[in-house]
């Protein structure tokens, strides 16, 4: 990676799989993370922060698998997060080994409030830990990123000293996080300018920014940072992340694309340069957004900029009239630019396995023979019900299969009887992890309530349903319906998603997906407790988190 002065474009560092996955309920399994990582590579992000390897064995495995399969010669840099400790750094280095290009991202807080209450350390102590740990990380690889956590609320003079020491110790990227989403755009811009002017060796590292959206200012803050010298933006797809989320990738990329004449001069380019400011293939944006939303269960609000369902819709008569006469009257970008209109009718009832396989390949899905067979069966079932199958239908089927492939409990049968004069009654049969088939029935206030009660009788995992939503994948009465649910158990949220032309089946499957995640988390907890009791636990601590 080049240094600050050699960079004439913006580096997109995607942290959907690390900071994004820290959103309540957005937990992903290893296969789901791999699927998202592959899509991020197709989207063209420069760096994928694939996880926090020391935080859990699952995160370690996911980072390692992503490093193996996506961290290829032509692929993005694969990054792993590590606190400024030897075990964290060493574990991250181990997980990243298979990647052709890898990066360790290590961090320690620098604000007085974090030092006093969280770390209970002096500034002097924190300075020397950071210096020592950056140098330690450097023994594993060249590409090292250092973040002074809560930089936005840190004393600027202390921050300058910290950054100078981290760069001297070998950091090649210094990342400035507004951890609590507190700064305004002008303040964030000033902070970056101050760093450029006051850190003597700043030219030896790339300036990166990271920020949370607590005041809804993350994207605006980043754009101001770009004007003042930031060249790497840390963001997530759909802006998912802790609390109000992170800066949204699609908003940053499209702002830089649509307004490139405005931003060009800040990157030392002629105003009218047409060269893209990022490496992102914007036509992959919509698809990536849908994938992340489906797999994390984090729905995209309809009026969300760029990827919301209303973002390109014109309801009012005046707007419709204007757009029909000339799109530019009310549109600053074409829906095609983000791949929104790429939903072609591709297959039908008579399409064979080869056509199916090759279309999936074109869409970027690389399925094993077994998964392909399962997906093909689903496709045939769908083709019997729905005449024209589009790319989005195919994506819905395959994403559904990915989610179900690691299921502990499997839905074998669901039947309901309901109507305006009937008591809604459901029967379900589930296959348990040890292969038994269990059937139960229940009544409810409606068919979905009855199904959920019947499933509860079989699975017996206490929970509270907090969100249930149904959306259609395409228009038309025969469309696939997508059900997304979120449920709470103790203080944790779990999500589930499923797609089917029958929304009762989709509802049952989405619920089982969420319960399987909850069940897996409880099992993990039990395993940990058992292991601790029998003194078999390795040196891993309780899961660590970072914002």
Least distance to ligand KIV, CB of residue 421, Å: 55
Nearer to Zn ion, 19 or 88 (CB): 19
DSSP class of residue 21? G
What is the spatial distance between Cα 508 and Cα 493, in angstroms, rounded to a whole number? 18
177 lines the binding site for ligand KIV (CB under 6 A) = yes
19, 88, 393, 401: residue in contact with ligand KIV (rule CB under 6 A):
19
Q: How many positions of this chain bind ligand KIV (CB under 6 A)?
A: 11
Dump the DSSP string for 270-281.
-TT--S-SS---
- The whole-angstrom separation of Cα 111 and Cα 150 is 6
For residues 61-90, which are near ligand KIV according to CB under 6 A? none
**500 dihedral zone (left: phi>0; alpha: psi -120 to 50; beta):** beta
Asked whether the beta carbons of 290 and 398 are under 8 A apart, the reply is no
Q: Which of residues 112-171 bind Zn ion (CB under 5 A)?
A: none
**450/435 Cα distance (integer angstroms):** 24
Cα–Cα distance for residue pair 484/496, rounded to 1 Å? 6
Cα angle: 109, vertex 143, 225; to 5 degrees: 55
Asked if 547 is part of the footprint of ligand KIV (rule: CB under 6 A), the reply reads yes
Task: Tell the smallest beta-carbon distance from residue 147 to ligand KIV (Å).
Answer: 4
Site string for ligand KIV, 145-164 (x = CB under 6 A): --x-x---------------
Instruction: For residues 33 and 54, give the distance between their C-alpha atoms in angstroms, rounded to a whole number.
Output: 17
Residue 547 interacts with Zn ion (CB under 5 A): yes or no: yes
* Closest among 163, 218, 166 to 188, alpha carbons compared: 218
Q: Among the candidate windows 15-23, 144-152, 484-492, 493-501, which touches Zn ion by CB under 5 A?
A: 15-23
Q: Return the range that interacts with ligand KIV (CB under 6 A); candidates 171-179, 256-264, 296-304, 458-466.
A: 171-179
> Looking at 14-22, 188-196, 356-364, 454-462, which segment touches Zn ion (CB under 5 A)?
14-22
| 173 versus 390: smaller Cβ distance to ligand KIV | 173
Interacting residue with ligand KIV among 60, 107, 263, 376 (CB under 6 A)? 107
User: Site mask, Zn ion, residues 17-46, x = CB under 5 A?
Assistant: --x---------------------------
The token duo for 319 is 């707007």
Using CB atoms within 10 Å of the CB of residue 472, give its burial: 0 to 12 exposed, 13 to 18 middle, 19+ buried.
middle
Are 419 and 510 spatial neighbours (Cβ–Cβ below 8 Å)? no
Quick one: what does residue 35 bind among Zn ion, ligand KIV, none, with the CB cut-off 5 to 8 Å set by partner type? none
Q: What is the CA radius of gyration of the chain?
A: 25
| Residue 210 binding ligand KIV, by CB under 6 A | yes
Question: Is the Cβ of residue 21 or residue 250 nearer to ligand KIV in the bound state?
Answer: 21
Q: Does the footprint of Zn ion cover residue 544 (CB under 5 A)?
A: no
451 Cβ contact list (under 8 Å, min separation 6) = 414, 416, 426, 428, 444, 504, 507, 508, 511
Which of the stretches 173-181, 186-194, 309-317, 462-470 binds ligand KIV when contact is defined by CB under 6 A? 173-181
**Min dist. Cβ of residue 251 to ligand KIV (A):** 18
Query: Any idea how long the chain is?
Result: 547
- The footprint of ligand KIV (CB under 6 A) covers 19, 107, 147, 149, 175, 177, 179, 210, 212, 546-547
């Amino acid at each position: 990676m080049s240094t600050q002065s050699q960079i004439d474009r913006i580096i997109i560092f995607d942290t959907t799989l690390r900071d994004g996955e820290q959103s309540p309920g957005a937990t992903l399994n290893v296969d789901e993370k791999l699927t998202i990582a592959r899509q991020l590579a197709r989207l063209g992000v420069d760096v994928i922060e694939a996880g926090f390897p020391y935080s859990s064995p699952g995160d370690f495995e996911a980072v390692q698998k992503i490093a193996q399969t996506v961290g290829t010669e032509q692929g993005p840099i694969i990054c792993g997060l590590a606190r400024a400790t030897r075990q964290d750094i060493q574990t991250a280095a181990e997980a990243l080994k298979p990647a052709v290009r890898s990066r360790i991202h290590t961090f320690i807080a620098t604000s007085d409030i974090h030092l006093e209450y969280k770390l209970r350390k002096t500034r002097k102590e924190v300075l020397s830990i950071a210096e020592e740990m950056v140098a330690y990380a450097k023994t594993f690889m060249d590409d090292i990123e250092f973040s002074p956590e809560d930089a936005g609320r840190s004393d600027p003079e202390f921050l300058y000293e910290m950054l100078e020491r981290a760069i001297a110790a070998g950091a090649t990227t210094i990342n400035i996080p507004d951890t609590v989403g507190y700064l305004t755009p002008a303040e964030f811009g000033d902070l970056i300018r101050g760093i450029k002017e006051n850190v003597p060796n700043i030219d030896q590292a790339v300036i990166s920014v990271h920020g949370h959206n607590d005041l809804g200012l993350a994207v605006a803050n980043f754009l101001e940072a770009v004007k003042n010298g930031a060249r790497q933006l840390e963001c997530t797809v759909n802006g998912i992340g802790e609390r109000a989320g992170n800066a949204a990738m699609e908003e940053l990329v499209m702002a830089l694309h649509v307004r490139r004449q405005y931003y060009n001069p800040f990157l030392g380019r002629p105003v009218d340069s047409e060269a893209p400011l990022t490496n992102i293939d914007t036509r992959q944006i919509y698809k990536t957004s849908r994938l992340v939303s489906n797999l994390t269960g984090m729905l995209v609000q309809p009026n969300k900029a760029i990827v919301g369902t209303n973002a390109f819709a014109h309801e009012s008569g005046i707007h419709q009239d204007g757009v029909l006469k000339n799109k530019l009257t009310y549109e600053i970008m074409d829906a095609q630019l983000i791949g929104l209109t790429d939903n072609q009718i591709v297959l039908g009832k008579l399409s064979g396995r080869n056509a199916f396989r090759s279309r999936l390949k074109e869409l970027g899905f690389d399925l094993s023979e077994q998964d392909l067979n399962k997906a093909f069966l689903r496709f045939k079932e769908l083709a019997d019900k729905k005449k024209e199958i589009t790319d989005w239908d195919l994506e819905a089927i395959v994403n559904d299969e990915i989610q179900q492939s690691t299921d502990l409990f499997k839905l074998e049968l669901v039947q309901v009887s309901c109507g305006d004069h009937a008591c809604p009654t459901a029967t379900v049969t589930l296959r348990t992890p040890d292969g038994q088939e269990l059937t139960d029935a229940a009544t409810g206030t409606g068919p979905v309530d009855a199904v959920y009660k019947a499933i509860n009788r079989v699975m017996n995992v206490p929970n509270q349903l907090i969100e249930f939503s149904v959306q259609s994948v395409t228009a038309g009465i025969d469309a696939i319906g997508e059900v997304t649910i979120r449920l709470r158990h103790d203080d944790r949220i779990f999500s589930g998603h499923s797609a089917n032309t029958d929304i009762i089946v989709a509802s049952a499957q989405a619920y089982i997906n969420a319960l399987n995640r909850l069940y897996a988390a409880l099992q993990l907890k039990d395993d940990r407790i058992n292991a601790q009791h029998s003194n078999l636990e390795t040196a891993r601590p309780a899961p660590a988190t970072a914002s």
